[in-house]
Amino acid sequence: MENKRVLGLSTRLLLFIIPIIAGSLLVSGILTGLYAERGVKKAMSRLTVYKAEDLTRHVSSQWNLLLENELQDDMAYLESLKRSISSYSITMLREDGEWILAVDEDLNIIFSVGASVADELLRESVLNNRPINSEDIWIDGKFGGKERFGYGFNLPALGWTVYITNLRRSFFDDLSYIRLNYTIMVILTAIISSLFILLYVRRSMRPLKTVINDMQGIVLNRDFGKRVSPVQNDEVGELARKFNLMSDYLERAMNRLIHIAHSQAEARIEIRNRERETLDVLSRVSDHKDPETARHTSRVGMYASVLSELRGDSLEEADLMRWAVPLHDIGKVGIPDVILLKEKGLTAKERAVMETHVSIGYEVLKDSASSILRAGADIALSHHEKWNGSGYPGGLKGKDIPVRGRITGLVDVFDALATARPYKKAWNFERSVEWIQERSGIDFDPEIVELFLNGKERMRTIYIEYGDDSSESVRESALS
Ligand SMILES: [Fe+2]
Ligand SMILES: [Fe+2]
């Protein structure tokens, strides 16, 4: 199953933690902003109401004074009252932007202290903010062309409406400044905490990376004797220790497997040696009754093995030829001695009996479980076939003859020629080779003859080293 690719640990951590930090900062920022705004508004209202009450008190005392002296209809006193209220209002101003305005019922300006604006704009603002049914009114928005906060109230004795306002920004500027600072702080906190998280994760990942690298080295090099060093005593260390336990187990299992493989290899060699020994015994059984010598069977195996090698066969095939070819005449155990040991002059009937050694050999070996013995069966059956089709038992021609049979046929004849038999003398090495060459394309496969000639010196070595008789005569014959 293919593992789904996921984001790295640090990215996942950032994606998880940053929204939490930023979110909580934002929520607390918004709440703080709301409370601060409420506080500012409250202070602003109290201050404005206080000024309104103060002005009302002043107007009342002045008006009561006129009433007490019955001067309320005297225009000069009224004018003086107006000036006094205006002067008092000026003393109430504390900063630029504050504005106290009084209008009569017809919206004529009685006095305006502080900010001054165009009449039209003012008229419109006042119309939009008239206390209705003598109810005071709060102003929070455009007034006189600017964002203002303030209070509008009636002075019933004089029939005036007074507006005490201030620029909104003079109250809220600081709050905006706090908001801006807070936003910057949130962004900076997010960036700085991201960096810290990244650094922390990198630092925390370092031991894990070391452990992973060690593990990779061990797995790639199959070096289970090596151990991961647990850098620290935490989960990563625990992982390293667990991996080491697994390596211990693998190392033991590997050693056991190696031991088993060695034992098996030894057992195979043992079996192979015994098989060779058995084959050797078997070959010697066939030699026992045969005028051919024990060394003949062995030599033909060697010649055949060299030819197989020269053909470019595998090492296994060359080895198989070494051990299977000596069995070529094993069928002779089934031939009566009178025929087998007759030195010459076999009758046609006797010859026919003699020729059955190939099929007897085949029958004896063909059903064996051993590949060498089964190859021996094919070799036994085909080693008397000839290239031109004049051989037996099948009269097979050319490449219809199995190649193992073609090779065996050649080396068998060569060795028979080159060694002495009770009924004939040995030809010397060169003469025997010449005969093989002469019979190329008649008895033997021309390609194998050519290989034989190419490998002549290797054949000569076998001929000398494993000759029937290590006497000088054999060596001389070989060297002549
Ligand atoms: Fe034979
Ligand atoms: Fe033979």
Does residue 213 form part of some domain?
Answer: no
- The verdict on 309 and 174 lying in the same domain is no
Ligand 1 center to residue 412 CA distance, Å? 8
Does residue 226 form part of some domain?
Answer: no
Ligand 1 center to residue 50 CA distance, Å? 140
For the stretch 227-254, pLDDT in tens is 887 767 788 888 888 888 888 888 888 8
Residue 300 to residue 209: CA distance in whole angstroms = 65
User: Where among 181, 197, 231 does a domain terminate?
Assistant: 181
- The verdict on 170 and 296 lying in the same domain is no
Ligand 1 center to residue 132 CA distance, Å? 141
Ligand 1 center to residue 335 CA distance, Å? 12
Q: Which of 2-11, 27-36, 226-235, 458-467 has the highest mean pLDDT?
A: 458-467
CATH code: domain of residue 382: 1.10.3210.10
Report field, pTM of the whole predicted structure over 0.85 = no
The SS3 of residue 221 is coil
Ligand 2 center to residue 298 CA distance, Å? 10
Supply the pLDDT for residue 305: 97
- The verdict on 468 and 329 lying in the same domain is yes
Ligand 1 center to residue 461 CA distance, Å? 24
Ligand 2 center to residue 474 CA distance, Å? 19
User: Where among 118, 153, 181 does a domain terminate?
Assistant: 181
User: Any idea of the CA torsion for 462, 466, 468, 474, to the nearest 10 degrees?
Assistant: 60
Ligand 2 center to residue 479 CA distance, Å? 24
Ligand 2 center to residue 296 CA distance, Å? 7
- The verdict on 174 and 303 lying in the same domain is no
- The verdict on 13 and 133 lying in the same domain is yes
Average pLDDT over residues 34-44: 86
Supply the pLDDT for residue 475: 42
Ligand 1 center to residue 480 CA distance, Å? 28
Does residue 261 form part of some domain?
Answer: no
For the stretch 133-145, pLDDT in tens is 678 888 888 887 8
- The verdict on 159 and 15 lying in the same domain is yes
Ligand 2 center to residue 444 CA distance, Å? 15
- Which of 5 and 318 is assigned the larger pLDDT? 318
Does residue 217 form part of some domain?
Answer: no
pLDDT at 393 over 50: yes
Supply the pLDDT for residue 352: 94
Ligand nearest to the CA of 419: 2
Ligand 1 center to residue 380 CA distance, Å? 7
- The verdict on 16 and 147 lying in the same domain is yes
- The verdict on 33 and 159 lying in the same domain is yes
Ligand nearest to the CA of 415: 2
- The verdict on 38 and 156 lying in the same domain is yes
Ligand 1 center to residue 381 CA distance, Å? 9
pLDDT at 433 over 80: yes
* Count: domains in the chain: 2
Does residue 127 form part of some domain?
Answer: yes
Ligand 1 center to residue 157 CA distance, Å? 155
Average pLDDT over residues 385-404: 96
Does residue 128 form part of some domain?
Answer: yes
Ligand 1 center to residue 392 CA distance, Å? 10
Does residue 254 form part of some domain?
Answer: no
DSSP symbols for 419-445: S-BTTBPPPPHHHHHHHHHHTBTTTB-
pLDDT tier for residue 118 given thresholds of 50, 70 and 90: low
pLDDT at 479 over 50: no
Ligand nearest to the CA of 340: 1
Ligand 2 center to residue 328 CA distance, Å? 7
- The verdict on 162 and 23 lying in the same domain is yes
Ligand 2 center to residue 287 CA distance, Å? 9
Q: Which residues are close to ligand 2, an ion, with C-beta < 5 A?
A: 329, 412
pLDDT tier for residue 478 given thresholds of 50, 70 and 90: very low
Ligand 1 center to residue 213 CA distance, Å? 68
pLDDT tier for residue 477 given thresholds of 50, 70 and 90: very low
Ligand 2 center to residue 383 CA distance, Å? 9
Instruction: Tell me how long the chain is.
Output: 480
Ligand 1 center to residue 411 CA distance, Å? 11
pLDDT tier for residue 119 given thresholds of 50, 70 and 90: low
**Closest by Cα among 458, 460, 457, 455 to 474:** 460
Residue 251 to residue 122: CA distance in whole angstroms = 96
Contact criterion met (CB below 8 Å) for 384 and 393: yes
User: Where among 181, 203, 230 does a domain terminate?
Assistant: 181
User: Could you tell me the residue range of the domain that residue 439 belongs to?
Assistant: 290-479
Distances in Å between the Cα of 338 and the Cα atoms of 178, 290, 297 are 129, 11, 22
Ligand 1 center to residue 186 CA distance, Å? 103
Ligand 2 center to residue 464 CA distance, Å? 18
Ligand 1 center to residue 341 CA distance, Å? 14
pLDDT at 193 over 70: yes
Question: What residues contact 474, with CB distance under 8 A and at least 6 apart?
Answer: 426, 464, 467, 468
- The verdict on 322 and 175 lying in the same domain is no
For the stretch 162-185, pLDDT in tens is 889 888 888 788 778 887 888 888
Does residue 275 form part of some domain?
Answer: no
CATH code: domain of residue 39: 3.30.450.20
Ligand 2 center to residue 316 CA distance, Å? 23
Ligand nearest to the CA of 412: 2
Ligand 2 center to residue 416 CA distance, Å? 7
For the stretch 66-98, pLDDT in tens is 889 888 888 888 888 888 888 998 898 888 888
